Structure formats: C-alpha cells, structure tokens
Amino acid sequence: MPHLELAMLLVFIAALVRGYTGFGFAAIAISGLSLIWPAQVSVPVILIIDLLGSVGMLASAWQFADRALLKNLSIGAIIGLPIGLTILIQVPDSILKFAIGSAILAMTLWILFARNISLSIAPWHTRIVGGVSGAFSAAASVGGLPIVCFLLMTAHVAQVQRATMVIFLSATDLISVGLIATSGVISSALLQPTLLLLIPTLVGVQCGQWFFHRKPPQSFRPIALPVLMLLSSISIYYSGLQILS
C-alpha cells in the first residue's frame, strides 16, 4: 500500500481522539486515508481496526451507557446497515470520497454550532438517528458523527455520551464488517495494511483513555472538530478535482 507511514500517523492521531472522546476515529482516519487510498480499501480496513481497537474500551463503557438509548439506536441501525453497504459497492470511488468528505464537514459544522439546542429523546427520533448511523457506518465507516450530533443536543453528560457511543459503534462496526465480508469487498490483500495500522490504533486508544481518566473533558468539541474540518475539506477538494477531471 502506498504512503503507509503517513497512514499509520493518521490512524494514531485518530485513535488518540477516539480513546479520549469515544468517537471521531473513523471520520478522522477516513478523511485522511481517502487522500492516499481508494474508499473501497480504506473503509473496510478502518472498520476492522476500529472494531478491534475499541475492545479494550467496552468493559468500562458498559456501566455508564444508556441502555434504552442503545436499544432504539440498534433497531434503526439494523435497517440502515444494508443500505450503506449497497452504496459502498455501487458508488464510484471519487464520488463516494466527495460524499464522505461533504457529510463529515456538514455534520462537523452542525456539531460546532448546535450549542443551545435541547432535544427531548423520543424512540422514533432515536431509531431514525440509528438508521442514518448504520448507513454511514457501512458506506463510509463514519457512523459516529450522526450519533454525536444527536447526543450533543440532549441532556446527557459527557461520560454517558462517550460510553453509549463506544458500545453502539462497536456493535455497528461488527455487523458492518460481517456484511462487507459476505459481499466480497474484504479480501486477503487488506490483511497487511489492517495488521500494520492496528498497532498505532491500539497505542493511540490506550493513550487517549489514559488522558480521559486523568482529565475528563467538559466538551468534546475543541478536540475533534478542528481536525475533522481540516481533513474533510482537503478530501472534498481533491475528490472534487478527480470528478471534474
């Protein structure tokens, strides 16, 4: 795989953010890797290492996660995941990269400006968000951003937000990997980059968790949002040039 050293650095930064905030890994990693690898390669690789990298976070997250919220999110995700898989297989690479970058930038801006919105959680609201997240997970490995947008408009404290996202995103990653594997997108050629990127992922997640337990944040916005905005803007620019050419 080309530019493997750069890919390892990008993945480490993304894993550091994930370990600290509970989200952002896939969006940051995909935004960066889309500059050097095809989406049909970067998406399944990131899904697999995101799943493996989050295993160590599950035990501590389970005790703080909102069970009712998880149930309704999961119901919606079951519907959204097959739709996202179809998009991943059928949509051309440059268009998919442009759509991924645009979606990440739009949702990042939403998170940035949605400061004073208070949303009462209804089951059907939550299931719709879960469906959108499931589709984004399978198509682009960025299912966390719809959940982040949703949770930041609720009254949940940061610790509950983080724990709920860790559990839900791990479950959707597992299902997405299974669906992609049965569709033939995952091949033995992805084994080497997956194993190599897993090392900085595990190190980054552990470092992020270490920082989280010693200095829990009041808000996740100042940490992940600048990185997401920068990488998604670069991805939109270069994929846009490919489409126009």
pTM above 0.75, yes or no: no
Which pair of tokens denotes residue 185?
A: 């997108």
The amino acid present at 2, given as its one-letter code, is P
Q: d(Cα 44, Cα 109) in Å, to the nearest integer?
A: 26
pLDDT in tens, 96-130: 878 878 887 887 788 777 665 566 677 888 899 88
Residue 223 has pLDDT above 80, yes or no: no
Residue 11 has pLDDT above 90, yes or no: yes
Q: d(Cα 2, Cα 74) in Å, to the nearest integer?
A: 36
pLDDT of residue 207: 93
Q: Note whether 180 and 47 are within 8 A (CB).
A: yes
pLDDT of residue 138: 78
Q: Note whether 100 and 236 are within 8 A (CB).
A: no
pLDDT of residue 12: 94
Q: Total structural domains in the chain? A: 1
Chain Cα centroid distance, residue 26: 3
CA nearest neighbour of 199 among 2, 9, 3? 9
Q: 29 or 228: whose pLDDT is higher?
A: 29
Which pair of tokens denotes residue 200?
A: 């900085």
pLDDT of residue 35: 80
Q: Tell me which residue range forms the domain holding 233.
A: 4-244
- DSSP type of residue 188: G
End-to-end CA distance of the chain: 24
pLDDT of residue 220: 63
